[in-house]
Amino acid sequence: MTAAPGPLHTVLGAGPAGTSVALELARRGHAVRLVDRAGSGEPLDGVERLAGDVGTADGALAAIEDADVVYHCVNVAYHLQVDVMPGIQEAVLSAVARTDARLVVLDTLYPYGETHGEVMTEDTPWRAATAKGRMRTALDENYLAAHKEGRAKVVLGRSADFVGPRVLNSTLGGAVFPAALTGGEVLALGDIDLKHSYTNILDVARGLAVLGENPSGDGRVWHLPTAPARTTREILTVLGDLVSHPLRIVAMDEPRPFGPFDETFMNSYAELFYQHTEPQIMNSTAFQREFGLTPTPIETTLSQTLEWYQDFLASQAKG
């Protein structure tokens, strides 16, 4: 495949976020390389796929060879994150420091910890008390220190819970949309009458692409474009309207295996269950004002996601 001319944008991690970022960058006319362990998967128009292991210094350096901008969208299984993610950070930071590539990091809301319903902005204090929250806080402190000290050029884009095409392992994902389409039980976590922010995975991609194109944003955390928070019940009601029948909602008041989430996952996720027992409200107006990018309305997001799941379920049925 002949790459597009111009600077090379390399995306690390080929999950829903990394794949969406790669496609968005290609849509914008960039030369794009998508790196994961396998180096295979669905063909993506305008995207070169490469096998690589960014968990080692040599592997990360090989993965980002010739890249001008690197997008860190790598994640690992929940129960492995505390042990594995710091090593990946060390390898990736070392690689971009050696090559002088800019680093755009996909980040989470975990460093804020429990907010008791306070609206989260980029100025919200980092008060994480969970193991994964403290780990993410340490990673982010390292990223920002590397930038401040001139060792690397880094910017962080934070997202709320994902929703959208290709998103399976999310509280608004594989336990919701297939059941909504087939009339099965739609599983939800915690108090669904609390406001909860969800970020369209396509807005994650657009937001990270904008950060990759704009070095003026470097050296800080940004909240990626996210629609105004609604209660999960309101969102599921809109989803019911879109499928033309009320949903059979089952809300769980404590963590237990459900849908695509097995016991290992839920045992590891339990420390983060506070996200479903207090409002989780993320504000992204700073990004919107700075870069002129508005979030996708939740109604449009749900329609896009339903369309993708319809095709996905049809392909699964064909085997």
Q: Answer whether residue 295 shows pLDDT above 90.
A: yes
Cβ 11 vs Cβ 58: under 8 Å: no
Mean pLDDT of the region 231-247: 97
Q: Answer whether residue 3 shows pLDDT above 90.
A: no
Mean pLDDT of the region 178-187: 95
41 pLDDT band (50/70/90 cuts)? confident
Helix, coil or strand: residue 32? strand
Alpha-carbon span 198 to 227, nearest angstrom: 7
Tell me: the pLDDT tens digits for 64-85? 999 999 999 999 988 999 999 9
Query: How high is the pLDDT of residue 1?
Result: 39
What is this structure's pTM? 0.96
Cβ 63 vs Cβ 92: under 8 Å: no
Alpha-carbon span 124 to 121, nearest angstrom: 5
Mean pLDDT of the region 272-301: 97
Mean pLDDT of the region 260-279: 92
Mean pLDDT of the region 249-271: 89
* Long-range CB pairs of 250-255, under 8 A, 24+ apart, other chains included: 250/185, 250/186, 250/187, 250/188, 251/188, 251/189, 251/190, 251/191, 251/192, 252/187, 252/188, 252/189, 252/190, 253/190, 253/191, 255/189
Q: Answer whether residue 258 shows pLDDT above 90.
A: no
Whole-Å CA distances, 207 to 157, 216, 230: 8, 14, 21
5 pLDDT band (50/70/90 cuts)? low
Q: At 87, give phi and psi (nearest 5°).
A: -65, -40
240 pLDDT band (50/70/90 cuts)? very high
Cβ 45 vs Cβ 26: under 8 Å: yes
Query: How high is the pLDDT of residue 4?
Result: 61
Q: Answer whether residue 200 shows pLDDT above 80.
A: yes
Query: How high is the pLDDT of residue 282?
Result: 98
Query: How high is the pLDDT of residue 137?
Result: 98
319 pLDDT band (50/70/90 cuts)? low
Alpha-carbon span 290 to 211, nearest angstrom: 11
Q: Answer whether residue 106 shows pLDDT above 80.
A: yes
Q: Answer whether residue 227 shows pLDDT above 50.
A: yes
Share of the chain above pLDDT 70, in %: 98
Q: What is the mean pLDDT of the chain?
A: 95
Tell me: the pLDDT tens digits for 119-177? 999 999 999 999 999 999 999 999 999 999 999 999 999 999 999 999 999 999 999 99
Mean pLDDT of the region 260-281: 92
Q: Answer whether residue 99 shows pLDDT above 60.
A: yes
Cβ 78 vs Cβ 92: under 8 Å: no
Q: Answer whether residue 280 shows pLDDT above 60.
A: yes
Q: Parallel, antiparallel, or unpaired: how do β-strands 161-163 and 198-200 relate? A: parallel
Query: How high is the pLDDT of residue 34?
Result: 98
Handedness of CA 100, 102, 106, 108 (dihedral sign): positive
Query: How high is the pLDDT of residue 2?
Result: 44
Q: Parallel, antiparallel, or unpaired: how do β-strands 230-231 and 195-196 relate? A: antiparallel
316 pLDDT band (50/70/90 cuts)? confident
